[in-house]
Amino acid sequence: MSVELDVFVGNTTIMDEEVYQLWLDGYTVNDAVSIRMKSGILEQFGTTEDVLESDTMDHYRTFQMTERLLHHPSKLVNQVLFQIPPHRQAMLIERYYAFDEAFVREVLGKKLSKGTKKDLDDVSAKTGITLKSCRRQFDNFKRVFKVVEEMKGPLVENVQCNFLLSDKLARDYAAIVFFANSRFETGKKKLQYLTFEDFAFCACQLIQNWTVGAVDNMVEDMDVDLDKEFLQDLKDLKILITDKDMLDQHKSLVCTGLRGKIQVFNEMEGNFKNLSRGLINIAAKLTNTKDVRDFFIDLVEKVIEPCKADRWLISDVRAFLTQYTNSARALDGFKHQAVWERYMCVIKSCILKMYHD
């Protein structure tokens, strides 16, 4: 019995983007075939389920063979085994290192260790993301962390150069590396309203202003570790709350500047000293590792929650923080302007990002 076959020979590696996404999402071949069938692909191409299964298996084999190259993206770009056009290479890398918001919120700030990896079963059950996908994303975080944590130079650039990611994704990974290094607490109940994007924005502010790299861009760990000398200098800001005359003068200047400009003036005036103590005590405690980890909890408990309780609008918060920062310049005997500005620029940006109306 004779059988007719149509044969096509080429050297460009065929990769279906939809099947690639199914593979990345951790679906088995059978699950992927079922999903593809539901999309109407059999009717669209006039083919059979057996052919579709064979096609899916062939794609999965190709993806599995390229995975070791994706662990080191420069190898994918320079290899000759798979003939993949540059724009397809970029797509493969970008999607491989992409991650789910729900997943990253569960592991953000945790140690990227075997212990955390053992908990991925629970993360998978909670988020609905397949365990295989959770493991891929976790391994990607850990791989990037290991490569860039000790490197000199800007963190975002190091991620981009070594993993060939887009600027946006490289910045997200820089935030993940930064949080994993300092072990910031992000999982407590009162922080659950915050998104990864909120934390990534704050990480960017901290990296640009509070790390060693903010003052010296050619030291090791420059964008990973907070500047210990700066954190020590923050203790000098306590004079703003321990010197009664300075505290009263600061309040007077802020109230003068905001009278008639915010709707919650009376509430602000009545709670000024508590808010000021909260802001300054956060600064003074950042020399302790535990207090660094609780940085975001402290911002919520000592500033955001009190303001929300008094029904401050975000415009009120912005006006207060601006006036609060600027008024310190006019205080008699206050000699820590550089440290104050460096501290408050980050505090103001983070609070405004975290203050969800």
pLDDT at residue 104 in the model: 98
Radius of gyration of the chain (CA): 26
pTM above 0.85, yes or no: yes
Contact residues for 204 (Cβ-Cβ < 8 A; gap 6+): 171, 174, 175
pLDDT tens for the chain, 357 residues long, are: 676 777 655 567 889 999 999 999 999 999 999 999 999 989 988 889 999 999 999 999 999 999 999 999 999 999 988 999 999 999 999 999 999 999 999 999 999 998 888 899 999 999 999 999 999 999 999 999 999 998 888 999 999 999 999 999 999 999 999 999 999 999 999 999 999 999 999 999 999 999 988 766 555 556 788 999 999 999 999 999 999 999 999 999 999 999 999 999 999 999 999 999 999 999 999 998 889 999 999 999 999 999 999 999 999 999 999 999 999 999 989 999 999 999 999 999 999 999 997
Separation between Cα atoms, residue 179 and residue 191, nearest integer Å: 15
DSSP state of 83: B
Contact residues for 80 (Cβ-Cβ < 8 A; gap 6+): none
Q: Helix or strand or coil: residue 42?
A: helix
pLDDT at residue 46 in the model: 87
